[in-house]
Homo-oligomer: A and B are copies of this chain.
């Protein structure tokens, strides 16, 4: 499709790793409420990252992940305690990656591979370590280094700086429509991994291409 692409940059949560794989552990701890908790947890996690950035009250993603879990548990009228919190935050370092991830990364390896995430290093690095995928990545890039959450232009700009490439040389992949909009807005080539068959976000930033999972990107070899 294009040999001008020299680096593949992957979002992490929802793109390489299934954030809803916490469901089982949530089910165990909260008696069958796993699905509800995992959906609300993720929704509030994103919302809090946006709101804190807007308020000028940045907080690392690990703390936002804790805060949003607390909200989700309170909202569902379940009993919150620190022990359960610790178990679930630990679970976030052991999310499952999607089945095609390893094969696709290996196939694309001749190119530079990086992850670029809102996650802070204390959650991102153990996750990638535990997944057994670390050796495949050339860079782990966290917005926490500059305290600018995606989708601010400053966040994508930092990613570009770390990679030391021109923005046209980068293909950015995310399953999060808002993240694709932000990356496109900044000037990356974008591939939306639309795992959940969602409609396009109405943010006036259409992705360059859309795939149902990561297998689609093999055409950029």
Contacts and interface: CB of A to CB of B under 8 A. Distances in A.
Interface residues of A, number: 33
A175 B178 CA distance: 26
Contacts of A68: 202
A67 B199 CA distance: 12
Interface in A158-189: 178, 181-182, 185
A10 B181 CA distance: 32
Nearest to A198: B75
Contact of A52 (B51, B53, B70, B203): B203
Given A54-B53, A55-B185, A67 B151 contact: no
Contact of A54 (B57, B74, B151): B151
Contacts of A48: 202-203
A201 interface: yes
A74 B199 contact: yes
Interface in A60-105: 67-68, 70-71, 74-75
Q: 7 tightest A-B contacts by CB?
A: A74-B199, A67-B202, A50-B50, A71-B202, A55-B185, A55-B151, A54-B152
Given A54-B151, A55-B151, A57-B204, 14 more contacts: A47-B50, A47-B178, A51-B151, A51-B181, A51-B182, A51-B203, A53-B54, A54-B152, A57-B185, A67-B203, A68-B202, A70-B202, A71-B202, A75-B199
Interface of A: 44, 47-48, 50-57, 59, 67-68, 70-71, 74-75, 149, 151-153, 178, 181-182, 185, 198-204
